[in-house]
Amino acid sequence: MSAASSRPGTVRRFETPVILVAGLAFLVLLATWVPGIVSPRSIAQLMIWVVLVVGLYTFSGLSGIISFGQTTFSTIAAYCVAWLTLNPFVKASSMPGLPQFILSASLHPLASAAISIAVAAAIGLVVALAVMRLAGEAATIATFALLIVVNSIYGNWNSVTGGMSSIVGIPIVVGVWIAFGTAVLAIVVAYAFQTSRGGLMLQASRDDEVAARASGIEVKRWRIIAFVISAALMGLGGVVQAHFLGVISVESFYLGTTFMTLAMLVVGGRSSLTGAVVGAVILSLVTSVLRGLERGVELGSVNLQIPSGIQEVALGALMLVMLVRRRRGLCGLWEARFSRGDAD
């Protein structure tokens, strides 16, 4: 077969990430050209949500094991960024318990980001080696325990993390285009693993673990690999969020973020990358609109304002409807493609 004849199949293989990236690019361009309709800041935050949800999907979506602990790695990476980029004087006054070489460090954001993501991935490997000895509900409970333990450590280790106080002064270097770039990176990494030999084996174990093991698939091995990749992507999300807001706290990636990422994955469809991205986009836009309505919107002489807390009620109701009416989410197993043919 000639290279020319094989090219269409190669193109179709990458249809899904191309379509997803094109859709996100449209939102970025809309925010850039018409900021009155959608603010660049809102779209930048949306892109960060995409990174986090795609990171969660890389493990939970492909393995079928719901994890409540993936945002833990966002916390680890975000604090690592703060330790490496904050002004040494600020660190010495607010976190005097840090080692001297960290207290004196003031790295470039790119260098600190690379180190922070590597640290999140390394800790993810250690956690995976322990947690992946379990299966099903036991593994899910273990990840929830991980979330609580890490939050408690970071919230009470005052001399190293600042305790419950917010850490301010992190360099703000992330705008809408950098956030978009990290979302693209997360999608490409997740899709590359999803369509790899190991990713396909992991999906087979998700659909029928007994049959997968009987076929010789090393389920534990591929779950560990997926967990580490997920930890790295969640670390990326934590890094970008820290450099976007310039401030972090132990609550930044705790229960609120954990359940929001899970809600986005469930609504979009936790069995497909398209579902992860679609869920992140839809719920980001919905919460942005509801948040605006809670603050109040002027419509002529009328001030339209909804009661505070409606945002959480709406998200809960939406999740309930999805679980009852469409248990696989909006996209189910479907991946975005130009053609009806099989892309893989």
| Whole-angstrom distance, CA of residue 210 vs CA of residue 240 | 39
Q: Give me the pLDDT at residue 318, please.
A: 77
Residue 158 CB coordination number (10 Å) = 14
Q: Which of 218, 212, 200 is nearest to 342 (CA)?
A: 200
Q: Give me the pLDDT at residue 5, please.
A: 38
Show me where the domains of the chain are located.
Answer: 7-251
Residue 99 CB coordination number (10 Å) = 10
Give a three-class secondary structure readout of 91-144.
HHHHCCCCCHHHHCCCCCHHHHHHHHHHHHHHHHHHHHHHHCCCCHHHHHHHHH
Q: What percentage of the chain exceeds 90 in pLDDT? A: 51
**What would the mean pLDDT of 302-324 be, rounded to a whole number?**
73
Over residues 147-202, the pLDDT tens digits come to: 999 999 999 998 899 888 889 989 999 999 999 999 999 999 999 999 999 999 99
Q: What percentage of the chain exceeds 70 in pLDDT? A: 89
Q: Which residues, including other chains, have CB under 8 Å from residue 190's CB and lie 6 or more apart?
A: 54, 55, 57, 58, 229, 233, 273, 276
| Whole-angstrom distance, CA of residue 110 vs CA of residue 211 | 44
Mean pLDDT of the chain: 86
Look at 85-89, 119-123, 137-141, 335-339 and tell me which has the smallest mean pLDDT. 335-339
- Which two tokens mark 223? 């779950």
Does the pLDDT value for residue 217 go beyond 90?
no
Whole-Å CA distances, 38 to 48, 59, 149, 289: 16, 31, 38, 10
Question: What is the reported pTM?
Answer: 0.89
Rounded to a whole number, what is the largest CA-CA distance in the chain? Answer: 69
Q: Give me the pLDDT at residue 326, please.
A: 77
Q: Please check whether residue 27 is in contact with residue 46, taking contact to mean a CB–CB distance below 8 angstroms.
A: yes
- Structure letter (DSSP) for residue 86: S
Q: Which residues, including other chains, have CB under 8 Å from residue 78's CB and lie 6 or more apart?
A: 116, 238, 239, 241, 242, 248, 252, 253
Q: Please check whether residue 156 is in contact with residue 97, taking contact to mean a CB–CB distance below 8 angstroms.
A: no
245-273 burial, b for 16+ CB within 10 Å, e for fewer?
beebbbebbbeebbbbbbbbbbbbbbbbb
Q: Give me the pLDDT at residue 4, please.
A: 39
Long-range contacts of 306-314 (CB under 8 A, 24+ apart): 311/287, 314/286, 314/290
